[in-house]
Amino acid sequence: MTSVPRVPSSPGRGALRRLDAWLERAPGGRRAVPVIVSQVVAANLVGLVVVALLLLALSAGARDPAGRTAVVLTAVGYLAVAIPLGVVAGLRRQGATVTWLRADRPPAPEEAARALRLPADVALVVGAVWLGGGLLVGVVGALASEFPLVGLRLALAAWLGGVVTAGHSYLLTLRLSRRVTARALAAHPPAGAPVLGVRPRLLLTWAISSGVPLVGLTLLFLDPSNPAGPEEGAVVGLVVVSLVVGVVSTHLTARAVGVPLRDLRRAVQRVGGGDHDVRLRVDDAGEIGLLQEGVNSMVAGLAERERLRDLFGRHVGTTVAQRALATGVSLGGELRTVAALFVDIAGSTSLVRRTGPEQMVGLLNRFFAIVVDTVEDEGGLVNKFEGDAALCVFGAPADHPDPAGAALRAARRICTAVAAAGEVDVGVGVAAGPVWAGQVGAARRLEYTVIGDPVNEAARLTELAKDHPGRAVASEAAVLTAAPGEAVHWAPGAAVELRGRDEPTQTWALTIG
């Protein structure tokens, strides 16, 4: 078997993957704010270097080195003061976030709301720093140069660089603060209008990758201080920088949107496969976060519905529960031909005195486990438990091809299993015929039941069965309507006039051996 050769990734793709891995390791506790501050400062220094290189390209061949020196010294001095002040201003705006992260506790509602504005606050502080720097550099450039319009060019270049840097700081902080956002949203889930929507991110990415570079390129050709037009180096440098900036900003935005959507797709697939324990980390304060929270609420609702469905099935029977879920809370009533099986423990009064109530409950649970497993295995319904007895129905609410035969087989299997367990002695009665099957009760409390002569007949036959060696007695109608082959396990008995009946019932008893 030949193996498929692995295609090596390009250097650019490898760099982006390393960037993703680095961003994913961003802390979410007390170290989150220092990490974010340090990375934002680093991003601003990178932006400053890029703008400085562009300005050097623009001023290539200039005959005013003194003016250039003054601008550089002004910029360096401004940064030495503005960056620390910007850090202090940012920490003051996010003081509440710093407080609850350092205390390692859930945030209050106001603190969570402030934490969700962390990327916007960072971008605002960065923008203010670059706005002041551009204004100062422009004034110094106009005073130090023999061409005052050079100051306007410097200011515009700095401001455009500030827009790009502030935008990147926003996107970078948005990614770095995902764990902080998740903790804030875990304490106070998103509701109402999104704080950081997808549309502003896409518009910001467009401005960084296309808008600002195109404006800068236009200004190069409209520069009144350079009527001959820009040199090739300046144009190429601006294009290269815009390409790099566009790739990084687009990648950050794509990952911020794509990764949560990928997790959402995987979660929905798992839910479709029946896994209701799926929970998504809500780490976005925009529409994606609302979608994440919506999926979590949906899964929780499905899990609750499945739990209620399971409880419903345990209380009324699986077939009744399925029919109710399919047709509504009112199943209605209908005439059906069914087989009724009634099973009762013999001597339960003396048994509870010997064992005590707690041990009796355990014994009943083991006994009823045999009844439920056997009846459901034969396609019947355990309709109700009555103390130490149970009424089982075959042929309602679901159709059964051989209700009488299934009831008789179930009776034989129950007698055999109970005798093997050796804990209790039982009597089983089986009868067949038409009954009314449906809901009875009140509008607020319904119960599915069957009403008719076969039910009463099966209960009376149970009392006879307790005195019979085989411990199971059936009516002749049940034995004769069963599928061929079942009657060999039963033998004709006496005709008995059961209590509450005006005519004798021909009985058949379970044979031994």
Higher-confidence residue of 236 and 369: namely 369
Percent of the chain with pLDDT strictly greater than 90: 21
SS (H, E, C) 229-244: CCCHHHHHHHHHHHHH
Q: Report the alpha-carbon distance of residue 160 to residue 152 in Å, rounded.
A: 12
pLDDT digits (tens, 9 = 90+) for 154-178: 788 788 888 888 888 888 888 888 8
pLDDT (tens digit, 9 = 90+) per residue, 46-97? 777 767 766 665 554 444 555 667 777 887 888 888 888 888 888 888 888 8
pLDDT for 311 equals 58
Q: Please determine, for residue 414, whether its predicted confidence score (pLDDT) is greater than 80.
A: yes
Is residue 478 scored above 60 in pLDDT?
yes
Mean pLDDT of 484-493: 92
Residue pLDDT, tens place only, 420-470: 998 889 999 999 999 998 888 777 777 788 899 999 999 999 999 998 888
3-state secondary structure 233-288: HHHHHHHHHHHHHHHHHHHHHHHHHHHHHHHHHHHHHHHHCCCCCCCCCCCCCCHH
Domains located in the chain, CATH noted: 11-245 (no CATH), 329-510 (3.30.70.1230)
Give the tens place of pLDDT for each residue, 374-383: 999 999 988 8
> Counting Cβ atoms within 10 Å, is residue 512 exposed (0-12), middle (13-18) or buried (19+)?
exposed
What stretch of H or E contains 119?
Answer: helix 118-144
Cα distance between residue 402 and residue 478, in whole Å: 10
Neighbours of 60 (CB within 10 A): 11
Phi, psi values for residue 221, rounded to 5° = -85, -20
Please, which residues bridge with residue 346 across strands?
Answer: none
Res. 11: pLDDT tops 50: yes
pLDDT tens digit sequence for 431-440: 999 999 888 8
Of residues 443 and 268, the one with the higher pLDDT is: 268
DSSP state for residue 64 in the 8-state scheme: -
Instruction: Strands of 300-394 (E only): list them.
Output: 333-345, 381-386, 389-394
What is the model's pLDDT at position 263? 85
**Which residue, 82, 114, 109, is CA-closest to 97?**
114
The Cα 323–Cα 320 span in angstroms is 5
Strands 426-442 and 389-394: unpaired
The distance of Cα 209 from the centroid of its chain, to the nearest Å, equals 34
Specify the pairing of strand 490-496 against strand 426-442.
unpaired
CB atoms within 10 A of CB 45: 13
